[in-house]
Amino acid sequence: MLRRPALIATASVATLLAVVPGASASAAPSAPAPAPPSSEEALPLPLLEPGESSDRLTVITSRTGNPRADGTYELTCGPVGGSHPAAEAACDRLERLGEGGKDPFAPMGEDRMCPQQYGGPATAHIKGTWRGKPVDTTFTRRNGCEIGRWRTMEPVLPTARS
């Protein structure tokens, strides 16, 4: 009974040696198995299927002053899709804002002087991946700079009423 497993193992090693160039019978059994990646090592990203995009965003808006604009929307670009009500215009806007390597999701600078103008309680959170980079940012309308930042992202974000 022990001959059969030994025969299968011998045949498997012989097949491997025939397929792998430069392999030798003496090296095959003693070659160590590759170590699994540690939790600190980055795993490679999965390959995208043809037509799939790495631009996938979830947009969550609330208290915009327009109940039809409040909610959670999915947005994919390249190809355009998702549940976003203005997906094509939103992807076009992101493309224009990202020209020259700019980051449309970058926060406002801390040292910036902003008009103390209140634009209402609207908030938006955008999370996902854009151009292969993670996105996790929040938009408000708490001062003049943030109002401008929000308006720059329209139609990715809905027009808010104060």
CA dihedral 6, 7, 13, 18 (to 10 degrees): 170
Which pLDDT does position 45 carry in this prediction? 43
Structure-token pair, residue 161: 């009423």
Taking a C-beta distance cutoff of 8 angstroms, is the pair 142, 118 a contact?
Answer: yes
pLDDT in tens, the chain (162 residues): 444 444 444 444 444 444 445 444 444 444 454 454 444 444 444 444 554 557 999 999 999 998 889 999 999 998 999 999 999 999 999 999 999 999 999 988 888 899 999 999 999 999 999 999 999 999 999 999 999 999 999 999 998 876
Mean pLDDT of the residues in the chain: 78
Q: Which residues pair with 140 in a beta bridge?
A: 123
First to last CA, the chain: 82
Alpha-carbon distances, residue 28 vs 18, 116, 144 (angstroms) = 12, 72, 68
Name the residue ranges covered by the structural domains of the chain: 55-152
- Taking domain 55-152, whether its CATH number is 3.30.350.10 is answered by yes
The pLDDT of residue 39: 42
